Amino acid sequence: MSKKPPVIMWFRQDLRITDNPALTEAIETGSPLLPIYILDDENAGDYSPGAASRWWLHNSLQSLNASLDGNLQCFRGKADEVLPALVQRTGSTNIYWNRCYEPWRIERDLQIKADLRNSGHHVSSFNGSLLFEPHDVAKADGTPYKVFTPFYRKGCLGNAPPPRLPLAPPDIRSYEKSSPGSSIDDLELMPAITWYDDIAATWAPGEDGAQERLDTFLETGIRNYIDGRNRPDLESVSRLSPHLHFGEISPQQVWHVASAACNIAALESQLDHFLSELGWREFSHHLLFHWPDLPKKNLQSKFDRFPWRDDEDALHRWKHGMTGFPIVDAGMRELWETGYMHNRVRMIVGSFLVKNLMLHWHHGERWFWDTLVDADLANNSASWQWIAGCGADAAPYFRIFNPVTQGNKFDPDGVYVRRFVPELAALPNRYLHSPWDAPDDICESTGFVPGQTYPNPVVDLKASRERALDAFRSLKGLAMT
């Protein structure tokens, strides 16, 4: 065994080998590499990974460990205790990691870095998960942006350093396992019951799966992205969000590979729309960085007075896809079965929860946190505040998605609804998104029994819309524009 102390590479939300700035720099020191992962549920508190995320994390770590020839060392506990103890035990003087941007991680990591440096250790951190770091994007007066288009077009594309080119995969040098790390199984990320079988059939976590997902999207989805991205019945979105969250692929890789492919194929307009979606991811992290209370506190304080309702039955029906509105129920069932929901449908089910049901957006944020494989603190919080109307660049309070209209427009042939709400499969397209309108002869011929084979609507759409508008108008300072 080498007597030279190892350089510690602390993997976090960067579970990949290629284009990993911290890993590349760590290897260039010439010291043996000690790759580690720390499951720090205690410091994470309410934002420790949810059930679906833990399934993904387990499999992603397995993939990373294979790339590291089985040398990944895993630990469970407070990182501010685990890491200093490991440094002392191994004699390491060099520690590398890529930065994370959740408020609790920022606070913890700054303290760890200060403590290690004060004790004479070399600590280096890098940007491995964003195209534009939050502190690099600001308005001319130095204040953060609150509106997406100027943030992205001017702040990012106009004034910030351009996305760097991806780094090549480094030559991995392993370190013999002499530290008391645990196995990935010892992290106990996988639940005892196998509810995740359908999720496992849908996804391929890991660096190879991320690259395959990008390649598939560029071959089949990007050509019709502008129109197709709103269609949950089509394969026109990238579905890269969980791979990006766990860092199995970097946004720089996606940005530059997609740009090269689209420039060759003369798909510049499709590319611009796709890259702007990466821009929304950046905007969410920008908001969380500057407003760390984003997950729990309304950005627009006047919404603190909003008269939210309490209705446990309605919330239960929403969570489990039993609202009686097919496009809403299809989305919630897709979420439960696959750990994912198409973005257009996320907006529909979100609007239905906070406006038609008038239930607090916190309910949706918490449910998505536990059930999404791509649950990301910045994206999840910013998106729920957007749909509720209380966030930055938010949807106007009077924009209430009609689930029947949305279903007919974006799932016109009923492919999506029939997949996830099979009890409606025999209904003609004309009645699929409003089954309560089906005449008696159609019900009889298809075996559809309203209220029995499928629930009756949990609310009246028109009445619930007016109720929501009245509640929003009651907030001082809101006006129809």
Q: Which sequence positions are flagged as catalytic?
A: 277, 280, 308, 343, 361, 384
Q: Which residues of 231-250 are buried (b: 16+ CB within 10 A; e: fewer)?
A: bbbbebbbbbbbbbbbbbbb
- CA–CA distance, 298 with 291 (Å, rounded to integer): 10
- CA–CA distance, 309 with 171 (Å, rounded to integer): 57
7-11 and 94-98 beta bridge pairing: parallel
Q: Is the distance from CB of 458 to CB of 314 less than 8 angstroms?
A: yes
Contacts (Cβ under 8 Å, ≥6 apart) of 421: 321, 326, 329, 330, 333, 454
DSSP state letters, 82-139: HHHHHHHHHT--EEEEE---SHHHHHHHHHHHHHHHHTT-EEEEE--S-SS-GGG---
- CA–CA distance, 330 with 395 (Å, rounded to integer): 23
State phi, psi for 8 to the nearest 5 degrees: -90, 125
Q: Three-class SS of residue 159?
A: helix
Contacts (Cβ under 8 Å, ≥6 apart) of 462: none
**β partners of residue 122:** 94
- CA–CA distance, 405 with 326 (Å, rounded to integer): 11
Residue type, 152: Y
